[in-house]
Chain A
């Protein structure tokens, strides 16, 4: 059992990419292709599209992404703790409680700042 198991994950990755791609390539040969200018218009419920599509978006999305980043990093730190938990003493729990509380304070701060409101 010397074969590295990650090779198979890599292989599966390639397969998981290839298998869904097959019908798309197949459809290229099977499906009809008759483009015309009307058909190729952007579908916006029959109304002609106005201006650029990539318009400015709400800053709110950005704030959610920032808060998510904070917690994502937290979870990455929690995984090794959870893994070794049975081998650690009770002290490890308190350390993690302190760590989590720090982040909860951050969450409460964003909450109080009304950063988590959709329509602010």
Chain B
């Protein structure tokens, strides 16, 4: 593209500028349109999990169902109820999509194709990722609705709690690669970081699920308690944009898992045929996306106090320990500062894998002990109040009571 423009007779700087500008346009548009496919894929997979067929009427395999939905939703009345803070109310859905779309700038699709290869890529991811919580707070605050406000409060408490372990998990690939550029992180994964840091991947997935605000961490829009949380009062395409933002975010989490831990576009012959790298990245991100969907379909909702406990009392200390252990081993293992091939990376990766398995086993033992103690506490409480019927509110005392 750049060469073509230079051939026409443009100066190099201008050619780069035009080519990149067009590239950015294409990336933003494709990223947003990709959501159509994501929503279809997720509905299809969700249907299979629940032993249904899912969308299958519009187009082959129901592929254009999402397009039909989009056309329908754009024709729906956009109700502005009384007492809304108009500006904030209108900006919130846009911001929620924007915060996700901005992540795509630093995703390396092939060895050469990347929006902008920022030297501070991971820090950028961290910064942009936290914009989403502002969008949710804006939506809840401006809605003039108590459900929306409560949902927004919960959402922000949850999102900021899980941002800490997520950022600490993202630091591990930075330590291993010695660079914050996402392209460098992919390049340095001669052995994918999933092997070297499986515990980090687990932490990252849990924290990302919470950042997504979906089941099992969907207290911010818990239907049985808060109607629809922060988006209760939204209708028409503004609601649609929240929907788009959520699904695009879910896929983007898959992309991030693929880039940071599964080796991005790396694979056989990817260096020679860039298009192949794109296919690898897509396949890997769908693996990540599928895991996210799988967890969503399988686990029930977690209580609000349990979510915050899991974040602060479990994931934060664990991710700190994990970071220090990985960093320590990476320093004392010989030859880790000059890895150029699979052979160099294999031994350190396997040592780290062994250390990670040990850590996971240790955490498992700790969790089992804690589980036993918790069960004993519940049994003691039950014994103290023999009158309460089984499954009555007394068993789940703290719940979301009075937040």
Contact = CB atoms under 8 A, between A and B. Distances in A.
Contacts of B124: 9
A17 B98 contact: yes
Interface residues of B, number: 90
B144 A42 contact: yes
A58 B146 contact: no
A116 B24 contact: no
A119 B13 CA distance: 60
A23 B16 contact: no
Given A12-B27, A42-B144, A20 B93 contact: yes
Contacts of B327: 82, 85, 93, 96
A5 B118 contact: yes
Nearest to A57: B153
B174 A119 contact: no
B286 to A, nearest CB: 23
A43 B233 contact: yes
A8 B145 contact: no
Contacts of B149: 53-55, 57
B117 interface: yes
Given A86-B337, A118-B304, A8 B115 contact: yes
A83 B156 CA distance: 29
Nearest to B122: A79
A90 B331 contact: yes
B160 to A, nearest CB: 4
B7 interface: no
Given A20-B241, A68-B161, A83 B178 contact: yes
A3 B332 CA distance: 41
Given A17-B94, A23-B240, A42-B145, A30 B324 contact: no
Among A35, A82, A111, A118, max chain B CB count under 10 A is at A82
Secondary structure class of chain A's binding surface, majority of residues? helix
Interface string A8-44: 1101110111011101101110111111000111111
A108 to B, nearest CB: 9
B115 A116 contact: no
Interface in B116-134: 116-118, 122-124, 126
Interface string A82-106: 1101110010010011001000100
Contacts of A85: 174-175, 178, 327, 330-331
Among B93, B116, B126, B141, max chain A CB count under 10 A is at B116
Nearest to B168: A75
B398 interface: yes
A82 B123 CA distance: 11
Nearest to A24: B237
Contacts of A31: 74-78, 236-237
A9 B93 CA distance: 21
B313 interface: yes
B105 A9 contact: yes
A26 B308 contact: no
Contacts of A9: 105, 116, 118, 124
Contacts of A13: 98, 102
B279 interface: no
B183 to A, nearest CB: 12
B180 A1 contact: no
A19 B70 CA distance: 15
Contact of A42 (B83, B161, B320, B323): B83
Given A3-B17, A20-B98, A23-B74, A118 B105 contact: no
Of all A-B residue pairs in the complex, the 5 with the closest CB atoms, nearest first, are: A118-B305, A86-B178, A20-B97, A119-B398, A16-B101
Given A31-B77, A31-B78, A104-B317, 20 more contacts: A2-B13, A8-B105, A20-B98, A20-B101, A23-B240, A31-B237, A43-B232, A53-B149, A54-B141, A58-B403, A72-B164, A78-B171, A79-B126, A79-B174, A82-B171, A83-B179, A86-B336, A107-B312, A111-B313, A118-B304
Interface of B: 13, 16-17, 20-21, 24-25, 27-29, 32, 70, 74-83, 90, 93-94, 97-98, 101-102, 105, 115-118, 122-124, 126, 141, 144-147, 149, 153, 156-157, 160-161, 163-164, 167-168, 171, 174-175, 178-180, 227, 232-233, 236-238, 240-241, 244, 304-305, 308-309, 312-313, 316-317, 320, 323-324, 327-328, 330-332, 336-337, 398, 401-403
9 contacts: A8-B21, A27-B78, A27-B237, A43-B145, A58-B153, A71-B316, A75-B168, A78-B168, A83-B174
